[in-house]
Structure 1
Amino acid sequence: MQPVRWTLPLLATLLAVSAGAIGTSSAAAEPDAPADRATTAWRDGALRTDPAGLVARSDLVQEGPAWRAYQAMPVGNGKLGAAVWAEKGYSAQLNRVDTFPLLKSAGRLVVPGLDPLMRAGDYSGRLALYDGQVVQRGGGMSARSYVRADADQFVLEVTGADPGKEQTADLKLWDGRTPKASAAKTVAALAETFHDAASGSTTGAVAAMTAKARDVSAEVVDPLTVRLTFRPNADGSFRLVVGVPYYTGGDVAAAAQKAVKDADDPRTPQRHTDWWHAFWAKAAPLRITSADGSGEYVENLRTVQLYTMAASMRSAVPSTHGAVVRMFSSAKDQADWAQDSYWHFNLRMLVSSNLGAGIAEYNAPYFRFYLDRADLMKQWTKDHWIGGKGTCVPEFLRYDGTGDGCDNTGEPGWVKRILSSGPELVNNIWQQYRFTGDQALLDRAYPLMRDIVEFHLSVLKPGSDGYLHLENVNALEVQWDTDDPTPDLAGMRVVFPIVADLAAARGDTAMATRLRDAVTKLPPFRTIERNGEQVLAWSGTDEAPQNTQNPEMEALWPWGQFDENSELLQATYRQRVYPQDKDWGMDSTWAARLGQADEVKRMLLKGIQDFQIFPNGFTVHRTGREAVRQQSFYNEWGGVLTTGLQEALVQAYDGVVHVAPAWPGDWDVAGSVQIEGGHRISTEVKGGIPSVVGIQAGSKDSLRVRNPWKGEQVRVVDQRTGRTVVAPTSDEIVTVPVVPNHGYVVERVAVPLSSFGFAPLTGQPADQVKTVGTRILGVQKSEPPLRSDLVTVQKPEKLQNLVKAQPGAQIYVDRSYTITDLPAPLTGQALIPGANDDSKNTSTDYLTFDVSRPATVYVAFDARGEGVWWPEWLKSFTRTGETVGTTDQRLILFRRDVPAGEVKLGANSGVADKGNSTYLTFVTPR
C-alpha cells in the first residue's frame, strides 16, 4: 500500500474547529430520554459535552495526604512546574523547564502550619484537572495549589487557619547548591545561575516568595533557606505566592520584587481557571465505560496525559528529556538521563497524541526546538558527516544545538548514525500543517525540510542492483552500522513525495525531480523468516541487537506503509522480538492499525501494569520497578496510550476514515478524534458497534469514509442545512463532500439519528482512587509520619520523617519492605527509617538526632554482616537477644541507653564496598 500524498490546495481553506462547535451543552437542552431508548450526545452538528463533569471523572483523588514525595501531584503552566505533597506539613518543589544544563530546581516551599489540615480525620484532596489545581480540605481548613496559567507564579491559597497563630513558610535548597539569598520587608528570595562551559550559556531562576497576610516579615535563615513569618488574615485566610521567573544574574532583590508582581491581584484565581476551562472546551473528549473499570482507568490516564501536555508544553523547548518530565520532579535535583538533551524517539508519541486529541498547539515547543537550531544542525552535519550535504537531524540533540547523533567520522554507537529522526521531523511538520492549517509553520520549516531530504539524497549510494542504498547507518538503537534500515526506507518513501510537492510549488523543480526519481530507486523492504513465518526484517543486514526496539514495525506506524490487510505485517507483529518491554513501545498503535481490538486492550493494560507505578499517573522506563525506589517521573507512556486509544477509535492515515477499526468490544466509548484536514470525527460505540458517526469539518474536503456498518445502507446529512449530501448507499467507501464549520452525521438508514434520544456527554467527579490490577490512580490513605516530642532527626534530611513502629510500617525511605513482627516494647514507638541505598556507606558520622529526655536507642542490623562488615561503632551497643522481622531480612536487635541531647551514629558498614540491608533505629523513652 502506498502512502497518501496530500496536495496543498486541500488546506487552502482549513479552519480550526471552534470550541463552541465541540459542543458544551446543558443537560437541560432536552428532557432525559426514556430508559429504554438509545441515546446519543451528537446533536446539531457536534458532540455535545459538559467538559466540567467529563474531565472531573479523571480527577486524581487523595483519600489521604501524599506523605511521600513519589506521590506528589503535578501543577504547571508549561514553563514552571510544581510537585505538591504533604511532607513536613506541606511541600511543593518548584522547577522551571529551561534552567539548563541540569534543569536544577528553583527550590522547595515548606509550610508546617498546614500539618493539622493533612492529619485531619475528615481530610479530602484531589488533583482537580478541569481547574488545573490541587485542592485539599480537612479540619475546617482548605488549601488550593496551582501554577498560574498566565504568569510564572506558584500560588497557595489557604482558608480556615487560626488567625491568631503565627505561620511560617520556608523556601529552601539543599547541599551542593550555591544560591544568593535575599530578604527585604515582605519578600524573600533565592536566586542561582548556571553556567554551561560547553556552550558558554548562562541560565537560572529566582524564586521569590511573599504572602497576602498580616504582619509579614522576611528573613534569611541560612545560605540555603529563606523564610516568611506572618499571621493569617482576620478571616483565617492567607495566600502565598512564589514567583519563579527566568534569571541570568543581577540584583536579586529587584528581581524578587518583579517576580511577585500582582501577587495580591484578586482576579488571579478566575483567570487561572478560565484558561483551563478554555483548554478543556477545545480538547477532544473521550468517555469510556466498562464492567470491570479498566476502560475508565484508561480514560483517566488519557485525560491526565492531556492535562500534562497543557501543564508542561508551553515553552520554547519541550519539557520531556529521555521521557522524563523534569518540571514536575519532587526529587530535588535528581533526574535520569541527560537533562540537557533530547532524544527524538521519546518525543514523537507526544506529537501524535496531541494531534489526535485536538491540542496540536502543544507541539509548538517540539517544532521550535528543532527549527531554532536548524543552522546549528546544518553546520554540525558539515563538520561531522563526511560526504553529507544539507542537514542531518540527530536522534540525540543537546539544547545548544550540538549532538552525538549525526557523525560518521568515528565508530558507530547508540545514536551516532540514526538517520530516521530527520524524516520523522519532516513528517511531523507536515502532519501539524495538515491537522491545523498552520501555513506560517510550514513556510518557516520548508528550508529545514528541504535540507533534511538533501542530506538523505547525498548519502544514498547507487548499488549494482540498480537501487539506492543507505550504508553503515543504524536501525534505531537496535542495529549499529547496518544497511537499509526499514524505518529509513519507509520514511524516505513518505517524505520524499511530500517535499517534492512542496518544492515544485515553490518553483524548485530540480529538487522535486531528484526526489521523485529517488523514490523509484529505493530498495524493497527485506523479509526474513522468524519462527516459521515470513516477516519484515529490521534492515538489509543481520547485525546483533543492541537495544529492544522493533525497527521493522515502524513501517506500519509512524510511516503507514501497510494496513490491516497485510498478512506480512500481521505476521511481523506476532513475531516481533521485543513486545512492549519499554514504555516507548507503540504496540497498541500497531495493533490498532492491524485491526486487533483485543490486542489493543491487552497491550494498554499490560503497559499500565508494567510502567505506571506512580499514583499521579506517571511511569517508569521499564518493567520491575517500584515507586519508592524511583525518583524520575516519565510521561512518554501517556503519549503511547493516548495515541493507541485514538487510533483504535478513529484512523485516517491511509486516506480513508475508519471508525472503531480496533475498539475493544467490552469498552463502550463516546468521544472524538481529530484527523488530517482539521476534521473532528465523533462516535459512540457500544458492544463494538458505532451508533452514529459525526463529522465536524475543519476545511473544504472530500472525505472518504469506510461504512461503519458493513453491508448496511447509510446516508450523510449536513446538519446545518438539513441537506442530504450522500444518498442512501451500502458502498464500502462513502465519499463525503464537506465545507468548513459544518457538522455532518453519517447514519444508518434503518436506525437514523432521529431514533436516538439526546443525552449530553458528562460525568460525575471521581470520588475514590482508581485501580486496575495492582496499579493505582490517586493516593490511598496511609499512616502519617509520626509526631514525636522525644526524638528529632537532624541529618540526613531524607531520614527526618519518623515512622510509627508497627507491623506493616515501611522500614526504608527507598524500598517498600515492611515490618512483619517486632518486640512489644518497640510497638508504637519512633522508628527512624533506613536508606538502603546507603547500605555500603562507611561514614563515622552518618545519623544525627536529638532526644529531649533520657531514652533507649535500639538498632536492628542485618545478620549477614556479623564478622564481615558490621561497623566498629556497633560495639557500643548491647545485643538484646531479640530480632525484628521484616519482609526483607530478619534483623538482630541491639540497644543503648542515652542521655538527653544529641546522638550520633555511624553508617551501616565498617568495610569499604561491603554491606547489605541498612540498619533501622528505634527510640523509646526511659
Structure 2
Amino acid sequence: MPDPLDAYNVVWNTQSRDPSESMPCGGGDVGLNVWVEQGELLIYLSRSGTFDELGIMPKLGRLRVRLEPNPFEADAVNFRQELRLREGFVQIAGEGRGIRATIDIWVEVFRPVIHVEISSNQPTRALAAYENWRSADRPLERAEVHSSRSWAGAPEAGIVRRDTVDFHGDQVRFFHRNSGRNVFDLLVEQQGLAHLKHELWNPLENLTYGGAIEGRDFVAAGETEGNYASTPFRAWNLQSASAGVSHELRVTLHSADAPTLGEWIDGLDRLVAEARGDGSARQRSIAWWQAFWDRSHVIINSDQPGSVPWQVGRNFQLFRYQLACNAHGSCPTKFNGGLFTFDPEFIDAELQLAPDFRKWGGTTFTAQNQRLVYWPMLKNGDFDLIRPQLEFYRRALGNARVRAREYFGIDGACFPEQIELFGLPVGYDYGWKRGADVPPGIECSAWVSYQWDTVFEFCQMALELWQHTAADITEYLPLIESCLRFYDEFYQRECLKRTGKRFSDDGKLVIFPGTACETYKNALNPSSTLAALRVVLTRLLQLPESLLARDRREHWRAMLGRVPDLAMREKDGHQTISPAWQWSHKQNCELPQLYPVYPWGLYGVGRPDLQVAIDTWRFGADDPDQKQIQSWHQDAIFCARLGLTDEAAALTIEKMRDASRRFPTFWGPGHDWVPDHNWGGSGMIGVQEMLLQVVDSKLHLLPAWPDDWDVDFKLHAPGQTVVECVYRGGRIERLRVHPEERARDVVVHRAGAQ
C-alpha cells in the first residue's frame, strides 16, 4: 500500500535561483536551507540557542559543495531535489557529462551532526567550502538593528563581534565565543537592576557555539574570498584527495556555556570522535522520524493532488516537519523564521544585509506569536516538542521573580510580552527615553505596557500537557503559581492606591490599568485577561492533590472567586463580548473580544451562549483590519471554534494554501518574517479545530468540516486519547478512539456522517 506521506514530498526538477528557493532540512535542533544554484550545492547552517553578544541569532555559516566533473552544470538532465518526509532528509540527483550523481543531506536527530553523502556511477572529485562573513568586528548597521531589538534606540552602539575560523589539520574549525559586554549587561543597567546582577541568570555569558567540518579523504585546500548576494565572505576549502564514486562530509556542531574555550574545544572533539565511529546514526534518526509521523496525521482529498484543499493537508504536514527540526532545541522555535531564514534582500530588496538578519530579533521573543507555534503540538501528539517553550519560561522564572520583588514588592513573577531570552523586557519596549511618569518596571511602550497576561497561555500549555499525558509537571507549577500570585497581588495594591480598598464593592479584582492584547489600551478588566485567569485557575484546581496541596488549592479557589465576569456590549443590535469593561483607545488590530473563544474556550461549540460568540465574530470588531489572514491572525480558528464551517474553510484555504515562494510553507513576511512560523501554527490550529474539539469530556468530531473535503486524520485529546477518523463522500468510513471507553464521549457534527 502506498505511503500517503510520500505524496506530500516536495520535488523540484529545476535548480534554484537563490536561497529564497531553498528547501528546509533538519533534525534534533539543527536546521538547514538546502538549494542547488548554478551547479553547486549550498547549505545554510542553523542551530537552536546560538546567540551572539547583541542577541542576534546568526547563521553558523554556509557550506558550498561542487563535483568535478560536475553532473549538475547547465547541460545536466534529470535534475531532482526531493524532501523525503518519512525519513526526514533531502536528496538531490542529476546527470551530466556521463555522470549520474546523488547527494543525500541529513541531520542526526540525537547528535548535532550534518551529513552530506555523495555517490556517483563514475569517479568525481568533491570540493567543499565553508563560507563565513563574520571575519572582523564591526558596528551594527542602523538598518539591521531590528535583528537585535534591545539595541534599537540604545545610547551606545552595538558591535557585531567576529567569529574564529581556521584549519585544524584537514578539518575546518569555526566558533563564536561571547565575550565582553552583551545585551544582558545593557538591559540590567537600563532597567535599574545592576545592584541585583549577581542574582540574575545570564545565558549569554561564555556561550560558545560553532563546529568542525571534515570528510573521509578530504584535505585542506586553502582560503579564498568572494561575494554572495550583497555580503562578502571568506572561504576555507576542502577537497577530496582523489576522485571516487563516493564522498562524505560531516559538519559537527557544538554549543555550550563553557567556562573556558579549551573546555568547549574538548566537547567538540568528543562529538567529532563519536560521529566518526557511529555507523548506526542514520538508522536511529530514520526510526525517530518514522515514529514521529506515526503519532498523527491530516490527509485531505488525497485523490485530488494539487487542489487547494489538498494543499492544506500537504502544508499541514510540511509545517509539522519544520517544527520537528527543533524537537530537542535548547530554545523555542522562533516565530520569525525558525531555523530557516535566509538573506533579507530576497524578501525586501532594500535590506542588503548579511544572512543573519531577521526582523523581531534573535534573543527577543514575542509571547503572542510564540504561543501559536506551540499550541498545535498538543493535538499532534508532539508533546516532546513543547518542552523547549516551557523550559524557556521555567529557566527565566528566577529573573521574573527578581523583577516582581524589586519593582513591586511582590513574591511572584512578572513576564513581559516582548521578552528577552533571560526574562527581562526587550530594551526597545522598556524604553530608552522613558517618561518621568512611567514607574520603574513598567514598559514605556504604546503597544505592550501592562501586557503581562500572555504568559498564562504557556501556563495553560503545561496544564494541558498534564491533561493530555498525565506527565509530571511539578517543575512548571512554580511558574504557574508565581504568575497568578503576581496578578492577584499587583492589582489588589493598584486598587488600594486608587480607592483605599483592595477589591471592588462586590469583592472582585479590578484589573486596571490593563490592556486587551496590544489593541484596547488603558483597559479596565480586559476580556483576554479575565478569561485567562478564569481558565488557568480552573485547570490548576483540577490537578490531583499529589501535585497541588490542599492549602494551596484553597488559596487559588479564593482567587478564582475574585475574577470578574466578562463585559458585554451591543453592536449593531446584537449582544457581543466586549474587549474590556472600559478602555481609552485602540492601538493594534487584534480581536481580544474573541479570546474567550480561543484560546480560552469559554464560548464555542458545545458551550452556552454560542450565538453571543458568533455575533461577536460577525459584529464585534471595531475596524476591518481586525480580520486578516496573515501571520498571527486567528480568524479561521475563531470560525472553527464557533462551528462556522463555510467561513472556517474559506479562511483556512487562504491561510494554508501554498506560499508565494518556492517552498510551499515559507509563508510571510506578513507582520513578521520569512518563513513565518506563527502563520503556519495558527493555520494548523484552524485545521485541527475544524476536525476535533474537546469540550469538557466530550470529543466533538468534525464540528466545522466541509462535506466535500475528504479527510483521514489522527489527532490527540486529553485523557491520553487518540482519535482516528476517515471521512469520505460525506460519511465516516472509519472511526477509532483509544482508549475504547472514550468512544462514548464522541459527538458527531456532520449531517449524515454517521
The two structures have a TM-score, normalised by structure 2, of 0.80
| Residue 697 (structure 1) aligned to one of 695, 715, 739 | 739
CA deviation vs aligned residue, 1:846-899 (integer Å, no higher than 9, x gap): xxxxxxxxxxxxxxxxxxxxxxxxxxxxxxxxxxxxxxxxxxxxxxxxxxxxxx
Q: Kindly tell me: are residues 353 and 94 of structure 1, through their superposed partners in 2, closer, same or farther at Cα, counting changes over 3 Å?
A: same
Native 8 Å contact 1:284 1:674 kept in 2: no
Q: Deviations over 1:696-717 (max 9, x none)?
A: 129x86952225577x9xxxxx
Residues 207 and 255 in structure 2, CA contact (< 8 A), matched pair in contact too? yes
Partner of 2:247: 238
Report matched runs for 1:274-289 at 5 Å: 274-289=287-302
Residue pair 1:184, 1:253 contacting (<8 A) in 2 also: no
Do the aligned partners of residues 581 and 647 (structure 1) sit closer, same or farther apart at CA in structure 2, a change above 3 Å counting? closer
1:231 is displaced (CA, Å) by 4.3
1:273 and 2:227 aligned: no
Structural RMSD (CA): 2.9
Structure-2 residue corresponding to 1:209: 213
Answering whether residue 163 of structure 2 is matched by residue 160 of structure 1, we say no
Q: Cα offset for 1:522?
A: 2.7
2:101 & 2:547 partners in 1: Cα distance?
Answer: 64
Corresponding position: 1:421 with 2:454: yes
Matches for 1:33-432 after TM superposition, within 5 Å: 53-87=3-37, 89-100=40-51, 101-113=55-67, 116-117=71-72, 119=74, 120-139=76-95, 140-160=100-120, 162-163=122-123, 165-175=124-134, 177=136, 178-195=162-179, 196-198=182-184, 199=202, 201-213=205-217, 216-217=219-220, 219-221=222-224, 224-231=234-241, 234=244, 236-246=245-255, 248=258, 250=261, 257-261=269-273, 262-263=275-276, 265-289=278-302, 293-320=307-334, 322-326=335-339, 329=342, 332-384=355-407, 386=408, 388-404=410-426, 409=442, 411-432=444-465
1:607 to 1:613, Cα distance in 2 relative to 1, 3 A: farther
Match of 2:666 in 1: 618
Cα distance in 1, alignment partners of residues 278 and 540 from structure 2 = 50
Hey, what's the Cα distance between the residues in 1 that align with 2:307 and 2:271?
Answer: 45
- Residue from 603, 607, 612 that aligns with 1:568: 612
| 2:556 aligned to which of 501, 509, 515 | 515
Equivalent residue, structure 2, for 1:549 = 590
Shift, 1:110, TM fit? 0.8
- Gap change, CA 1:679 and 1:180, over 3 Å in 2: same
Matched residues in 1 for 2:548 and 2:246: separation?
Answer: 66
Aligned pair in 2 of structure 1 residues 95, 682: CA closer, same or farther (>3 Å)? same
Instruction: Pick one of 620, 632, 652 that aligns with 1:604.
Output: 652
Change (3 A) 1:599 1:147: same
Structure 1 residues 420, 621: CA separation in 2 closer, same or farther (over 3 Å shift)? farther
Answering whether residue 592 of structure 2 is matched by residue 583 of structure 1, we say no
Which one is further off, 171-180 or 471-480?
Answer: 171-180
Cα distance change, pair 534–301 in 1 and its aligned pair in 2 (3 A) = same
Structure 1 residue 660, shift from structure 2 partner: 0.7
1:437 matched to 2:421: no
> What per-residue deviation string (whole Å, max 9, x for no partner) do you get for residues 265-289 of structure 1?
4434333322212221223453434
Q: Which runs of 5+ in 1 are unaligned?
A: 1-26, 28-49, 624-629, 713-746, 749-926
State whether residues 13 and 80 of structure 2, in contact with CA within 8 Å, keep that contact through their aligned partners in structure 1: yes
Q: Distance in 2 between matches of 1:541 and 1:453?
A: 23
**Corresponding residue SS for 2:239:** strand
Distance in 2 between residues matched to 1:432 and 1:611, nearest whole Å = 31
After superposition, give the CA deviation of every residue in 1:746-793 in whole Å (9 maximum; x if it has no partner).
x96xxxxxxxxxxxxxxxxxxxxxxxxxxxxxxxxxxxxxxxxxxxxx
Decide whether the 8 Å contact of 1:82 with 1:328 is kept in 2: no
Flag the 1:383–1:706 CA change in 2: closer, same or farther, 3 A. same
Report the equivalent of 2:520. Answer: 479
AA partner of residue 661 (structure 1): P
1:199-251 deviation line (CA, Å, top 9, x unaligned): 461323223111124x63354447932111214554x1101111121155635
Which residue in 2 is equivalent to 1:738? none
Could you say what secondary structure the match of 2:585 adopts? coil
Q: 2:708 aligns with which of 666, 670, 674?
A: 666
Contact 2:9 2:83 in 1 (8 A): yes
Quick one: structure 1 residues 268 and 512, their matched pair in 2 at CA, closer, same or farther if it must change by over 3 Å? closer
Between the aligned partners of 1:295 and 1:78, the Cα distance in structure 2 is: 30
Is residue 600–residue 664 contact of structure 1 (8 Å, CA) maintained in 2?
A: no
State the distance in 1 between where 2:117 and 2:578 align.
Answer: 58
C-alpha change, 1:169 and 1:455, in structure 2 (3 Å) is same
Letter in 1 for 2:361: A
- State how far apart, in whole Å, the 1-side matches of 2:19 and 2:307 are: 28
Identity over the aligned pairs, expressed in percent?
Answer: 20
Amino acid corresponding to residue 638 of structure 1 in structure 2: G
C-alpha distance in 1 between matches for 2:173 and 2:413: 44
SS of 1:116 mapped into structure 2: coil
Distance 2:618 2:425 in 1: 35
Q: 2:336, 2:358 within 8 Å by CA — same for their partners in 1? A: no
Conserved? CA contact 2:81–2:90, under 8 Å: yes
The TM-score with structure 1 as length reference comes to 0.66
Which has the greater radius of gyration?
A: 1
Amino acid at match of 2:640: A
Aligned match for 2:490, one of 449, 459, 464: 459
> Following TM superposition, by how much is the alpha carbon of 1:508 offset from its aligned partner in structure 2, in angstroms?
4.5
Asked if the contact 2:171/2:220 (under 8 Å) is kept, the reply is: yes
d(CA) in 1 for partners of 2:745, 2:336: 36
Higher alpha-carbon deviation: 146-155 or 501-510: 501-510
Query: What is the alpha-carbon distance in structure 2 between the residues aligned to residue 399 and residue 684 of structure 1?
Result: 43
* Separation (CA, whole Å) in 2 of partners of 1:72 and 1:569: 42
Tell me the residue number matched to 2:150: none
Shift, 1:183, TM fit: 1.6
Alpha-carbon distance change, 327 to 69 in structure 1, aligned in 2, over 3 angstroms? closer
Distance 2:277 2:548 in 1: 57
Matched letter for residue 303 of structure 1:
Q
2:653 partner SS: helix
CA contact (8 A) 1:650 1:657 kept: yes
Which residue of the partner structure matches residue 905 of structure 1? none
Q: Please state which structure has a larger fraction of its residues in helix.
A: 2
- Secondary structure of 1:528's counterpart equals strand
Q: Residues 216 and 377 (structure 1 numbering): CA distance in 2 closer, same or farther, change over 3 Å?
A: same
- The residue type paired with residue 71 of structure 2 is P
Contact 1:187–1:257 (8 Å) recurs in 2 = no
Deviations 1:350-390 (A, max 9, x none): 32211111111110101111112222211122223x36441
* Counterpart-to-counterpart distance in 1, 2:515 and 2:242: 62
Aligned CA distance change for structure 1 residues 87 and 707 (closer, same or farther; 3 Å): closer
- In 2, the alpha carbon distance for the partners of 1:552 and 1:403 equals 26
Picking from 568, 580, 583, the partner of 1:527 is 568
Deviation at 1:293, TM superposition (A): 1.1
